[in-house]
Amino acid sequence: MQHIETGLEGGSAGVAGTRRRSGSSRPGTMGAVSSPVLHWMHDVASVTLLKARRTLLQAGILFCVLVLLLWVSIFLYGSFYYSYMPTVSFSTPVHFYYTSNCDSSESALCSFPTANISFMKNEKDQVMAVGQPYRISLELEMPESPVNEQLGMFMVKLSCYTKGGQIVSSVGRSTMLHYRSSLLQTMSTLLFSPLLLTGMAEQKQLIEVELISDYKANAYQPTVGAVIEIHSKRVQIYSSQLRIHAYFTGIRYVLYNFPITSAVIGVATNFAFLSVIVLFSYLQFVWGGKEEVRKRMERENSQKELDSPKVIEIQDAPGSDVPHTTNEESHDSKMSEKRNSSDVLDGSSLPPESEMELRQRPRPWMSLQQNLLMFRFSRISNGIFMHSGVETPDYMFKCGKT
């Protein structure tokens, strides 16, 4: 019984020890299994982070390039619009002057009212572009006085001159106040009496005189100014204004009447053109760089092959025998003696044995397989000669060395 109890206790102890060993080996097994998984996850995370960083960098560079192209496109369109579009309209006040050295008892003026107008902007740039048609008109602000009503029609003359004072264009137009009956004047006075009393309205008329409807400046004789003269000594004028307005045709008409549409089309065209140029430049840079690297590698390889020459390999025909090799040896010895004698006669020193080996530049058509076959053939030939007891020729040793 004691032996049986002892065996049972030993068995239970063994089972407990086995359980402890198995339990203790589980953490190591889990660690061994989880270790490759952690390494794999770390590698995947590193590669993903690297790709994301590279993608973000490429996206940032692309965004900067696109913004730069957009700004350049806008600048080009603005420069084109500023240089191509002339002055649309030009207005300047007209100040008339006249002489007063006549008899003051008369109500009429001593001379016709005259004004000199300059067509130079900032005293440097011309207002009117060459070849562009312009409409020139004069606005007269005249009171509805009895003198002007009795004046009737009067003439307005415009004379354009060049820098030297030469008259290049002269035109005259007639005008007068608009007719208003006495009843109409009385009704308008009663109706607008509050405004007239407060000074917010005046009894006057604005007369517009179209002097030239299609004026074009000459490139050889540019217009720099004009003289306006009113052929009446009794005219009464509050103020006057000279207006020059350009009439556009073709592309200028589109640019002036549809500014937003033309701006979008112009900027988009410039952007597309610049994008194509940048794309072609990038492709040329990439492909040209690869081509340069390839050519440089080819030059380096060819230079290495030229710097490492190979020994000329002389092989016998398959049916050649040993006596033939001895004959070749004797023939080679005779040729060497002749060369030695010629060298002695010439007074030149004999070169060392290593320099007398005939060498050849590497042939591009010789592949690695052909070189291995030649090397094996040389080794087999050396073995045959050694087995037969015949002295192996020198070129065979050279073939074995190569």
Confidence check: pLDDT of 229 > 90: yes
**What is d(CA 315, CA 359) in angstroms, rounded to the nearest whole number?**
15
**Residues above pLDDT 90, as percent of the chain:** 25
Tally the residues of the chain: 402
Identify the CA nearest to 86 among candidates 138, 124, 137, 131: 131
More confident residue, 357 or 243: 243
Ranges of each domain in the chain: 47-84+258-308, 89-257, 310-401
DSSP for 167-179, please give it: EEEEEEEEE-PPP
Please count the CA atoms within 13 angstroms of the CA of 329 that sit on its side-chain side: 13
Cα 132 to the center of its chain, rounded Å: 33
**What is d(CA 235, CA 115) in angstroms, rounded to the nearest whole number?**
15
Q: Which residues lie across from 318 on neighbouring strands? A: none
- Which whole number is the average pLDDT over 329-356? 45
pLDDT at 373: 61
CB 233 within 8 A of CB 239: no
**What is d(CA 227, CA 138) in angstroms, rounded to the nearest whole number?**
12
**What is d(CA 128, CA 6) in angstroms, rounded to the nearest whole number?**
127
Confidence check: pLDDT of 13 > 90: no
- Which whole number is the average pLDDT over 10-20? 47
- Which whole number is the average pLDDT over 324-349? 46
pLDDT at 193: 87
Confidence check: pLDDT of 19 > 90: no
Confidence check: pLDDT of 129 > 50: yes
168-194 tens-digit pLDDT:
989 999 999 988 888 888 898 899 888
Task: Look up the CATH architecture of domain 89-257.
Answer: Sandwich (2.60)
